[in-house]
A = this chain, B = another copy of it.
Amino acid sequence: MFKINDNYLKLPGSYLFSMIGKKVNAYEAAHPDKRIIRLGIGDVTQPLVPAVISALHGAVDEMGDTATFRGYAPDLGYDFLRNTIADNDYKARGCDIGADEIFISDGAKCDSGNIQEIFSLDNRIAVCDPVYPVYVDTNVMAGRTGTYDPQREIWSNVIYMPCTEENNFTPDLPGETPDIIYLCFPNNPTGSAITKSRLQEWVDYANKVGAVIIYDAAYEAYISREDVPHSIYECQGARTCAIELRSFSKKAGFTGVRLGFTVIPRELKAGEVSLHSLWARRHGTKYNGAPYIVQRAGEAVYSPEGKAQLEQQIAYYMRNAAYIYQGLKEAGYTVSGGVDAPYIWLKAPNGMSSWEFFDYLLEKANVVGTPGSGFGPSGETYFRLTAFGSYENTVEAVDRIKAL
């Protein structure tokens, strides 16, 4: 008789976005005259830029002609894209990363979920609190996290690193020594960034204790400040301790196009075994390459036209971020994020819990955000708004909140 992976049964329900959906639907049904503005889910709203659209059409035409048709892509990605990424995202920033250390994929969610497979089950992971749920949930599914305490909403074998106002939403080095450290900067959900000197401390720490850092830089395109690193490989020594995940979802609006990549330097080893070789084996066995047309779209992101068009697109979203940040500040809220990231993290006023503030905003301002407690215990009393709406909706949402 077949048996299931019962680690799955340990997962608590993923209530966050379904609960939000239920509450919004119920409110809408009861108040059909109200116009609700959604600044909750982290999905983009601006269309693909013309350079990308043009590259997609061109690649589609190639696929329709015997002479230019492409079958299976190379498992690790086409050289044209790997070279472009190496040049633009790494060499141009002084990072020593070769094209053959870049693994093209269908997105950072998949990569951040799959990367744990190349590690032993008896590694201990450390995560920020609050955190993007995929890091923890995929380790739960693999059986690495121990038992769940539903009261405290934590796992017995996970090291949590609180990110709070006190530490400026960047974690302190953990008291217990982890084997695998998940860091995401610029951060989802808090919108905070990490300085290069502070990230260097993490790299030094990981090299000292023999931990590997899984560095999720999905939001790097939103960085505006000089001292905030775009890549962990800007830090000395990162080649021996860090894997970096990147995404085109927020950089180029590819949430529905699906493209990302993982960087594993060849020096990153456990004894004689390079993680690069393990990930290459995983890609070759369990993955079949990103679509050719999508890889051509990715290449266009780095063309002169693509860069210029996407600079405008990101500026559009960051104008929203600045409007939210400024407006809430003026209304007396404690606000952070929104400078190097498309997320604004605010403290619920008057001692409200995250969900109380959610209900309050929905009912009083008809604005939907995301309760911070959904990302972990240290997110309680916090609230996330995103800059991915239209400018008009963003302005109206903020003005409604200010008017409360």
A residues whose Cβ falls under 8 Å from a Cβ of B: 1-6, 8-9, 11, 14, 43-48, 50, 53, 56-57, 60-61, 63-66, 69-73, 106-107, 109-110, 113-114, 117-123, 133-134, 137-138, 141, 179-180, 209-212, 253, 255-258, 270, 273, 275, 278, 281-282, 284-294
Contact = CB atoms under 8 A, between A and B. Distances in A.
A5 B48 CA distance: 39
Contacts of A8: 118, 278, 281-282
Given A47-B64, A53-B64, A288 B109 contact: yes
Contacts of A72: 43, 255-256
Given A141-B285, A256-B289, A258-B290, 6 more contacts: A2-B212, A4-B118, A4-B275, A45-B69, A110-B288, A256-B291
How many copies of this kind of chain does the complex include? 2
Given A107-B288, A291-B294, A119 B2 contact: yes
Given A50-B64, A293-B56, A9 B273 contact: yes
Given A47-B69, A69-B45, A286 B179 contact: no
A74 to B, nearest CB: 10
Contacts of A48: 63-64, 69
Contact of A71 (B44, B106, B275): B44
A291 B120 contact: no
A15 to B, nearest CB: 13
Contacts of A64: 47-48, 50, 53
Pick the most buried of A11, A61, A106, A110: most chain B CB atoms within 10 A of its CB. A106
A256 B60 contact: no
Given A8-B118, A107-B288, A141-B282, A1 B45 contact: no
Contacts of A70: 256
B256 A106 contact: no
A148 to B, nearest CB: 15
Given A45-B66, A66-B46, A109-B287, A2 B53 contact: no
Contact of A106 (B56, B57, B288): B288
A283 to B, nearest CB: 11
15 contacts: A1-B210, A2-B270, A3-B119, A3-B122, A14-B284, A45-B66, A47-B65, A47-B69, A48-B64, A53-B64, A71-B255, A110-B287, A133-B285, A256-B291, A258-B288
A120 to B, nearest CB: 4
A2 B106 contact: no
A337 to B, nearest CB: 21
A336 B53 CA distance: 46
Contacts of A121: 5
A342 B149 CA distance: 54
Contacts of A286: 109-110, 113-114, 134, 138, 141
Which 9 pairs between the two chains have the least Cβ-Cβ distance? A1-B210, A113-B286, A3-B120, A43-B71, A53-B64, A2-B179, A47-B69, A71-B255, A56-B60
Contact of A45 (B45, B71, B109): B71
A140 to B, nearest CB: 9
Nearest to A125: B2
B5 A278 contact: yes
A270 B4 contact: yes
Given A53-B61, A109-B287, A179 B45 contact: no
A9 B289 CA distance: 23
A139 to B, nearest CB: 11
A306 to B, nearest CB: 13
Contacts of A209: 1
B285 A138 contact: yes
A253 B211 CA distance: 44
B179 A3 contact: yes
